[in-house]
Every structure is written in structure tokens, then in C-alpha cells.
């Protein structure tokens, strides 16, 4: 039987359920479609993917193509909409089964529906939930509608009643004749219309995309430096590459799985130390899971102005105000420094993200979706569920039961008392 693995946000060969199942069949081909719409301007005036995210994706695809080739599997990469490529590919190679990661947000669902409509009715599409820490079937809830709207309730019950599944082994190599003579190169940054760039010298995320680099980062952060043992104490940092694990970008495009990170933490706890710091990285993986489940529960409501709460605020629309936020020229130096860092590097700390989001929504009173769309465009580690979930949370339309508002000056005093972070980026103005 001939099978196709349609890669989406699962760009890895280790712990990949779709790839593992496909490799049990005789012929296996991989495909990735970079939808040109992602490079076009959206409703809020930003491209869905700017150069930082695009570059990280291309690096990840290059690594995936090489790692699959070592298994004698060809990865075909196209700058096309899936509906314009996959049906013809399925017919050309007589594909009976298509394996893919299960997605449920608007754009991904539309892509799949369009492809299915153009394929023969006997083509089987086999989807796998492969981006969670806790698999949906293992949750202590009868169905997704029972997911609580408060994270702590979700976390405590899952920690008590759910188990993380073992990682899936990397498949054995296929016979060499499985490789296709037809090959497609991974696009280049310049070929997509972007100017190549080097990482900013002050970037807190000077890493490359791809599964190999993700595993190297685990090796470095866990075992070489043992920074994991101090994670909770440093996670609110602002400067340097080691105040947090920085695994979010690889997790976002699936270059590494949450399960693999979890089991690496468990190994570290067994061989080195188990403390609140090591637990806290699991805690953050649970937050990531939670926002995925919230989007699974509420669907497209995560993109609505009223959020999952259908809450109505007096939102304002001021281009001047929005541009001051984007350009880092507001009256708050801490906000400005974080926004300049984002524009220059494609990265911002967790502490920074909460502050600039709260400031845009609750101080400037601008439509929070504008900020979420800007983050989507620039953040290397953009994840649809975490991004829109966090923006709802910080804007008073999501899962924060207390509807908090950040005191920006107080936050700066707490987390940047000597203003080292602010001074670093405020001297590096955008214009």
C-alpha cells in the first residue's frame, strides 16, 4: 500500500505518530505545502509570517528533508496551497492513505476540507492528535465540552488522573528504492522575497530551526549546563539565551514533541535532581496543552473580539496609538524595549509578552486581535493556540478569572530593576 505523510506542525522523525504508522506500509512519501497565503497581508495589515518565522520554518524543513532522506523517505516541498498539489500527488503515486496531524483551527480545517473534496472517495485520511502532552483520549473528562475554563482546575485533575504516553520510536529506514527520483528543494528566504539576515547580536533566541537543533538545545539546557535545575527561578528573565528553555519555537512547528521534552525532564529528575524548577517546565507544558484544549472546546471564538467570554468592552481604533505600540514609542520604556526586541529579533520573553499585551488592551484600549495578529507575524515561536489564548487571557476575554491588569512601572522595577534590558534595547531604536 502506498502512503503519504502530509507534514504540518509535526516537522520531526522522532515521536511522530503519523510517520510511524505510515512506515508500516510499503511505500512512503512525505509532503509539505507552504501556503502562499501565509506570506500575504491579512485583515490587520500584517503578513501572517514575517522573515523570522519564515526563516525558522525553512531551516526546520531543510533538517526534516535530510532526516527523512536518511530513512530513504523523500520529502517534497511546495510553495502551493495543499488543494493545488495534494490531489494530483495522490493520483500520481496511487496513494491509498494520507497520514497527518489532527488540527482543528479554521485555516487548517479549511485546507483539509478543500483537499478531500478534490480526492477520490476511497482515499483515507488518517489524522492523529500528536501535539499534546496529555492525549485527548487520556483526559479525565468525558468530552472536550467539559474542559474547565480555569487552568488550575484542569491542571490538578490532569496531574492526578492522566498519564503521559511513551514516545514513539523513530521508524526504521525504508529500502533505498523507496526514495523518489523526483525531488524538490526547500525554498530559500531570498526566493520568497525576504532579505537574508544574521541573528541580532543581542538576541535571546540565537538558535536555528529543525529537529536536530531542538535536540541539541535539550542536551545543552538539561545536561551540559543543567540550567533546568534553576528554571523556575530564572524563567521571568529578560536577557540572554538561558533564562528559559527556549523550546517553544521547536514545539510550535513540531520539531520536537511535548512528550519528548516531558520524558527528558523525567530522566533529568531521576539522574540529576527533582525540584520545583524541573516541575515548572512540566507546568508550562501543561499551560501549552490547556490553550490547545480551550481552542478545541471553543473553536473560532478564540479569534472573536469578545473572546470565549463574549465580553464587550469599549475598544478604540487609533492608528497613531497602534503604531506607537509597534514602534516602541509609547510612554512606557519597559513596553518600548520589549517591542523593539520583538521587531529586531522575532523574540520576546514571557514576562514581556504579558506586559505589552496588557498595555495594548487595557491601557491603550485597542482591539486585542491587532496585537495577536502582530505577534503571529513576527514571533519565531508562534503557536495559534498559545498566542490567541494568551492574548484573550491578558485582554480580559479569556481564561483569567481575575481579569488582571499589569502595573507596567511596577513590573519593570521587579524584573528589570537596574534597567539593563531597557537600556540595551532602547538604544537600538527602530527608526
CA-CA distance, 365 to 16, in Å (whole number)? 42
CATH annotation of 1-130: 3.40.50.620
Please tell me the number of Cα atoms within 13 Å of 13 on its side-chain side.
22
Nearest Cα to Cα of residue 249 among 111, 387, 128: 387
CA-CA distance, 5 to 31, in Å (whole number)? 6
CA-CA distance, 108 to 111, in Å (whole number)? 5
pLDDT of residue 312: 86
CA-CA distance, 308 to 42, in Å (whole number)? 22
Under 8 Å between Cβ of 252 and 382: yes
pLDDT of residue 1: 81
Instruction: Give the list of residues 6+ apart from residue 113 with CB closer than 8 angstroms, or none.
Output: none
Under 8 Å between Cβ of 57 and 205: no
* pTM for the predicted model, two decimal places: 0.96
Pairing of strands 27-33, 74-78: parallel
Under 8 Å between Cβ of 264 and 109: no
Parse the chain into domains and list their residue ranges. 1-130, 131-166+211-298, 304-426
Per-residue pLDDT tens, the chain, 431 aa: give them: 899 999 999 999 999 999 999 999 889 999 999 999 999 998 899 999 999 999 999 999 999 999 999 999 999 999 999 999 999 999 999 999 999 999 999 889 999 999 999 998 899 999 999 999 999 999 999 999 999 999 999 999 999 999 999 999 999 999 999 999 889 999 999 999 999 999 999 999 999 999 999 999 999 999 999 999 999 999 999 999 999 999 999 999 999 999 999 999 999 999 999 999 999 999 999 999 999 999 999 999 999 999 999 988 889 889 999 999 999 999 999 999 999 999 999 999 999 999 999 999 999 999 999 999 999 999 999 999 999 999 999 999 998 877 789 999 999 999 999 999 999 999 876 65
pLDDT of residue 402: 76
How many other β-carbons are positioned within 10 Å of the β-carbon of residue 231? Answer: 24
pLDDT of residue 403: 78
How many Å is the Cα radius of gyration of the chain? 22
CA-CA distance, 309 to 223, in Å (whole number)? 43
Q: How many helices (H) and strands (E) does the chain have?
A: 17, 5
| Phi, psi torsion values for 99, nearest 5 degrees | -100, 135
Q: Which CATH number fits domain 131-166+211-298: 1.10.260.40, 3.40.718.10, 1.25.40.80, 3.65.10.10?
A: 1.25.40.80
pLDDT of residue 430: 60
| Phi, psi torsion values for 252, nearest 5 degrees | -65, -40
Architecture of domain 304-426: Orthogonal Bundle (1.10)
Instruction: Return the ∠ at Cα 353 (arms to 208 and 198), rounded to 5°.
Output: 25
Amino acid at each position: 500500500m502506498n502512503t503519504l505523510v502530509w507534514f504540518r506542525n509535526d516537522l520531526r522523525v522522532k515521536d511522530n505518530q503519523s510517520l510511524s504508522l505510515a512506515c508500516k506500509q510499503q511505500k512512503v512519501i512525505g509532503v509539505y505545502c507552504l501556503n502562499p497565503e501565509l506570506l500575504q497581508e491579512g485583515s490587520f495589515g500584517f503578513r501572517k509570517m514575517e522573515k523570522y518565522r519564515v526563516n525558522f520554518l525553512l531551516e526546520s524543513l531543510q533538517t526534516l528533508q535530510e532526516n527523512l532522506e536518511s530513512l530513504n523517505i523523500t520529502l517534497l516541498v511546495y510553495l502551493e496551497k495543499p488543494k493545488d498539489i495534494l490531489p494530483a500527488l495522490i493520483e500520481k503515486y496511487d496513494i491509498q492513505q494520507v497520514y497527518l496531524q489532527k488540527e482543528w483551527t479554521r485555516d487548517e480545517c479549511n485546507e483539509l476540507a478543500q483537499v478531500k473534496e478534490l480526492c477520490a472517495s476511497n482515499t483515507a485520511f488518517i489524522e492523529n492528535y500528536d501535539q499534546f502532552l496529555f492525549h485527548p483520549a487520556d483526559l479525565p473528562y468525558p468530552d472536550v465540552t467539559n474542559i474547565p475554563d480555569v487552568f488550575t482546575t484542569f491542571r490538578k485533575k490532569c496531574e492526578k488522573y492522566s498519564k503521559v504516553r511513551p514516545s514513539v520510536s523513530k521508524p526504521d529506514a525504508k529500502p533505498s528504492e523507496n526514495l523518489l527520483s523526483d525531488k524538490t528543494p526547500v525554498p530559500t528566504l531570498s526566493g520568497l522575497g525576504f532579505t537574508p539576515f544574521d541573528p541580532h547580536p543581542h538576541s535571546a533566541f540565537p538558535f536555528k530551526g529543525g529537529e536536530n537543533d531542538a535536540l541539541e538545545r535539550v542536551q545543552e539546557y538539561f545536561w551540559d549546563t543543567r540550567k533546568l535545575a534553576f528554571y523556575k527561578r530564572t524563567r521571568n528573565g529578560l536577557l540572554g539565551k538561558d533564562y528559559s528553555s527556549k523550546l517553544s519555537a521547536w514545539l510550535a512547528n513540531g520539531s520536537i514533541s511535548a512528550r519528548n521534552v516531558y520524558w527528558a525532564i523525567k530522566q533529568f529528575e531521576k539522574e540529576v535532581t527533582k525540584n520545583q524548577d524541573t516541575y515548572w517546565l512540566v507546568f508550562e507544558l501543561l499551560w501549552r496543552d490547556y490553550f490547545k484544549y480551550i481552542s478545541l472546546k471553543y473553536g473560532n471564538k478564540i479569534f472573536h473580539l469578545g473572546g470565549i467570554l463574549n465580553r464587550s468592552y469599549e475598544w478604540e481604533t487609533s492608528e497613531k496609538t497602534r503604531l506607537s505600540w509597534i514602534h516602541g514609542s509609547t510612554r512606557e520604556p519597559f513596553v518600548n524595549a520589549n517591542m523593539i526586541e520583538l521587531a529586531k529579533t522575532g523574540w520576546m520573553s514571557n514576562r514581556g509578552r504579558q506586559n505589552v499585551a496588557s498595555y495594548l488592551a487595557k491601557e491603550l484600549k485597542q482591539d486585542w486581535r491587532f496585537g495577536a495578529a502582530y505577534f503571529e507575524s513576527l514571533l519565531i515561536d508562534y503557536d495559534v493556540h498559545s498566542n490567541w489564548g494568551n492574548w484573550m487571557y491578558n485582554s480580559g476575554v479569556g481564561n483569567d478569572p481575575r481579569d488582571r491588569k499589569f502595573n507596567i512601572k511596577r513590573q519593570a522595577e521587579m524584573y528589570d530593576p537596574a534597567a539593563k534590558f531597557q537600556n540595551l534595547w532602547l538604544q537600538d531604536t527602530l527608526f
